[in-house]
Amino acid sequence: MAPHEDAGALIDGQTVARGELAGLAARFCLERFDSGRFLETSGDLLHTGPTGTNVMDLVIGYRADSRVARPQNGSG
């Protein structure tokens, strides 16, 4: 698979566990600049095929843990 055919990845708190369960070490792949192989193995790689564009966007989503106590207004 050519590197330009992947659009990125959607990762979660279990990405590393899934990749390592499948036999790859996250640190090993990162040290070799081979995140694509790890993310494909973990099932998190987004493969779109060639798009014909040269656009590179980064989107980061973060969801706070709702179980974490938050200070009340004016108290923190």
∠ CA 27-39-43, nearest 5°, is: 135
Which of the four pLDDT bands, split at 50, 70 and 90, describes residue 59?
confident
Average pLDDT over residues 19-36: 92
Separation CA 71–CA 3 (nearest Å): 45
pLDDT at 48 over 90: no
Separation CA 44–CA 16 (nearest Å): 10
Separation CA 17–CA 11 (nearest Å): 11
pLDDT at 54 over 50: yes
Residue pair 70/34 in contact (Cβ under 8 Å)? The answer is no
pTM above 0.95, yes or no: no
The identity of residue 22, as a single letter, is A
